[in-house]
Amino acid sequence: MIVNGKESCPRCFCEKENAAFEAEFKAELQQQQAKVKFNTLANKSLIQDKTLLDATFDSYIAQTAEEQANKQKAMQFLERYQQGRRFNLWFNGKPGVGKSHLSMSILKALNSLHVSCLYIDIDDMLRKIRASFNDKESPYTEQYFIDLLTNVDYLVLDDLGAETGNIDTNKQATDFTSKVLRAVVNGRQDKSTIVTTNLSSKALMNMYDPKLISRMMKNLETIIFTETTDKRIKNIGF
């Protein structure tokens, strides 16, 4: 057959056209999948403090030596994530010291690489699941969240322990809470999870099944605030 004034084998021409079409289709599919992953952080996260949506390393104002050191640690851990290293990272310290800000900063930087990232306020998630028990139309079922949190590349579980009450509570997590967290943790054994909490490891061991906390702390790195005070209320004059 003649194609563009040149003699060509019909079979070779068809194979070439099919290969070009398949390559174009594959590239388009990959772009769509990358877009879905990129949008997961914005579309699927549960964030109580909406100011976190603007959180970056640049906007984290480190004034004390501890703040500067922990900001630098967070940036170094980000580099390790970007290199493909897998580990769990825990932020520990009193409320308002910047744990959520720095964890979101890590997520946003990773998200720019078009990997799937998710930020979940644990208390908000559990409330939505409980509400779905009496609302059959709710999409926020237990299985929805387990699948969502298990499948993303990078996950932040924010404010572990807050669902039981204040910091000094002696309450233990309910069987329901432990069941949900256990399913998520078990499904993320080969992935990286970032946790923020106000509670010590001893308090968490008393609150949850020690086996669950032990598994969450597998391959662990930590960023701990011991001296930094609540940045949100320091300017209040009463």
Domain extents in the chain: 32-224
Architecture of domain 32-224: 3-Layer(aba) Sandwich (3.40)
- Is pLDDT of 28 > 90? no
pTM of the model: 0.83
DSSP at 98: S
CB atoms within 10 A of CB 13: 12
Binning pLDDT at 50, 70 and 90, where does residue 117 land? very high
Output 38 or 189, whichever has higher pLDDT. 189
Q: For residues 150 and 71, what is the distance between their CA atoms, to the nearest angstrom?
A: 27
Residues β-bridged to residue 223: 91
Mean per-residue pLDDT, 138-153: 97
User: Is beta strand 88-92 parallel, antiparallel or unpaired with respect to 6-7?
Assistant: unpaired
Q: Could you report the per-residue pLDDT of 65-110, keeping only the tens digit for each?
A: 999 999 999 999 999 999 999 999 999 999 999 999 999 999 999 9
pLDDT of the residue at 173:
82
Residues β-bridged to residue 224: 92
User: Contact, 67 vs 229, CB < 8 A?
Assistant: no
Binning pLDDT at 50, 70 and 90, where does residue 234 land? low
Q: Which residues neighbour 195 within 8 Å (Cβ) at sequence distance 6 or greater?
A: 88, 89, 90, 91, 156, 157, 160, 216
- Is pLDDT of 158 > 60? yes
pLDDT of the residue at 174:
87
